[in-house]
Structure 1
Amino acid sequence: MTGRRRWSTEEILESAAELLRASDAEAFSVRKLAAALGTDSSSLYRHFRNKTELLRAVADRILLAAMDGYRPEGDWKQRVMALALRLRETFGDQPQLAAVWGRYASGGTGARLVMEEVLQALRSSGLPDEEVPVRYHRLVVLLAALLASEGGIGTITPKEYEEGMEQFRVAVLGADPERFPALAHFARDVRPLGADRRTAFEEILAAHLARIEAQIP
C-alpha cells in the first residue's frame, strides 16, 4: 500500500495562494486547504502551527516576489515610491492577499527585506535616527491600507462593478439637494472609489512623503 503523498512547504503555500485567489482570509481554512491537496489537516500542521502562521507565510511569498530583482535607485522618496508601486503591482496579481498582509503582517524574509529598504530609505533622508522608526510605522500603515483597498477593488467581478456603478449614479446624481446640498452641487464631478486608482495611490503616498520631508532638519 502506497503512503499518502508528502507535500513540501512551497507546494502547500502555492495551493493556499490559489485558494485565497477565489476567497478571502475569513473563508479560508486549513481543512479546505487539506481537502484541496487530498490530505488531512494534521499533515499541514507539521509545517504550520495554525491558520494565522500559514496566512503570514503566504503573504510573505508576495513580498519575496516583489523584492526579487529589486535595486534601490534615486533619492529616498523615489526609493519608497518605487517599492510601493512594486508591491502594488505584485499584489495586483493576487489582490486577496493584500488584505491578508495588512491584517496578519509577516515576519518572514520578504517582510524583512521590505522593512530594511524602507528603513534605509528613511535613514538616508536626513531624519534623526529617533524619528525613523515612528515615520516607518506610519508609512507602512498607510501603504498596507492603500494596498488592501486596491485588493478589495481588484476582486470585484465585472458584473459587480457595473451594479456598483449603477448604484453610485443613482445615489449621487439623484441626491436630494435639500438633504444633501454639497453632494448635489458636486454630483457630476464626484468620482467612484474605483476610478483612477493608480493616480490616487501615488498622490496619497507622495503627500505623505512630502509631510515626512517637511520634518527633516
Structure 2
Amino acid sequence: MTGRRRWSTDEILEAAATLLRTGDAESFSVRKLATALGTDSSSLYRHFRNKTELLRAVADRVLLATMTGHHPTGDWRHRITALALHLREAFGEQPQLAAIWGRYGSGGAGSRLAMEEMLQALRASGLPDQEIPVHYHRLVILLVALITSEAGLSSITPAEFTQGTEQFRVAVLGADPAHFPALSHFAREIRPMGADREAAFADILTAHLNDLAARIPG
C-alpha cells in the first residue's frame, strides 16, 4: 500500500500562501491547509509547531524573496528608502500576506536579511551605536504600519472602495458647521484615506529620515 506523499516545507508554505491570498489569518487553519494538500494535520505539525509559526514562515518567504534580489547602493538614506520601497512593492502584490506580517511578524532568514540591511544603513549614517537600536525600532514600526495599512486598503474590492468613498463624502461634506467647524472649513480639501497613498508613503518616510538626519552628530 502506497503511503501519502511527503510534502516539503517550501511546498507547504506555497500552499499556505495560496490559501491566504483568498482569505485571511482568521479563516486560515492548519486543517484547511492539510485538506488542500490531501494530507492530515499531524503531517504538517512535523514542520511547524503551530499555526502562528506557520504564518510567520509564510510572511518570511516574502521578505526572503525581496531581500534575495535586493542590492543596496548609495548613502544611508537611499538604502533605507530603497529597502522600504522594495518591501512596499512586495507586500503590495500580496496584501493578505502583509496583514499576516503586520500581525505576526517574522523571524526567519528573510527577516534577518532585512534587519541586517536596515542596521547597516543606520550605522553608515553616523549615528552613535548606542542610539541605533531605538531608531531602528521606530523606523520598523513606521514601515510596518504604513505597508500593512496600505495593503489593507488595496485589498478591498472596487465596489467596497466606491461605497467607502461615498460614505466619506457624506460624512465630510455633510458635516454641520455648528458642531464641526474645522471639518466644515476644510471639507473640500480633505481627501479619503486611500487617496495619494504612494505620495503619502514617500512624504512620511522622508519626514522621518529628515528628523533622523538632524540627530546625527556634526
Tell me the TM-score normalized by structure 1. 0.98
Q: Give the Cα–Cα distance (whole angstroms) in 2 for the partners of residues 101 and 13 of structure 1.
A: 14
* 1:73 shift after superposition: 1.1
Q: Sequence identity of aligned pairs in percent?
A: 73
Q: Which residue of 2 aligns with 1:115?
A: 115
Deviates more, 1:25-34 or 1:137-146: 25-34
Are 1:160 and 2:170 counterparts?
no
Q: Which residue of 1 aligns with 2:104?
A: 104
Q: Give the Cα–Cα distance (whole angstroms) in 2 for the partners of residues 167 and 31 of structure 1.
A: 39
* 1:2 shift after superposition: 2.2
Question: Structure 2: 5+ residue runs without aligned partners?
Answer: none
Q: Deviations over 1:124-174 (max 9, x none)?
A: 000000011111011001111111101111210111111101111111111
Letter of the structure 2 residue corresponding to residue 182 of structure 1: A
Q: Give the Cα–Cα distance (whole angstroms) in 2 for the partners of residues 102 and 155 of structure 1.
A: 15
Q: Give the Cα–Cα distance (whole angstroms) in 2 for the partners of residues 152 and 63 of structure 1.
A: 18
- The 5 Å alignment of 1:67-78 reads 67-78=67-78
Q: Give the Cα–Cα distance (whole angstroms) in 1 for the partners of residues 179 and 32 of structure 2.
A: 48
Corresponding pairs, count: 217
- The 5 Å alignment of 1:58-137 reads 58-137=58-137
Q: Which residue of 2 aligns with 1:42?
A: 42
Letter of the structure 1 residue corresponding to residue 141 of structure 2: V
Structure 1 segments of 4 or more deviating over 2 A?
none
SS of structure 2 residue aligned to 1:2: coil
Question: Structure 1: 5+ residue runs without aligned partners?
Answer: none
* 1:47 shift after superposition: 0.6
Q: Give the Cα–Cα distance (whole angstroms) in 2 for the partners of residues 71 and 170 of structure 1.
A: 47
* 1:122 shift after superposition: 0.2
Tell me the TM-score normalized by structure 2. 0.97
Q: Deviations over 1:32-87 (max 9, x none)?
A: 11111111111110110001110110000000111122111111011000000000
Letter of the structure 1 residue corresponding to residue 209 of structure 2: L
* 1:176 shift after superposition: 0.9
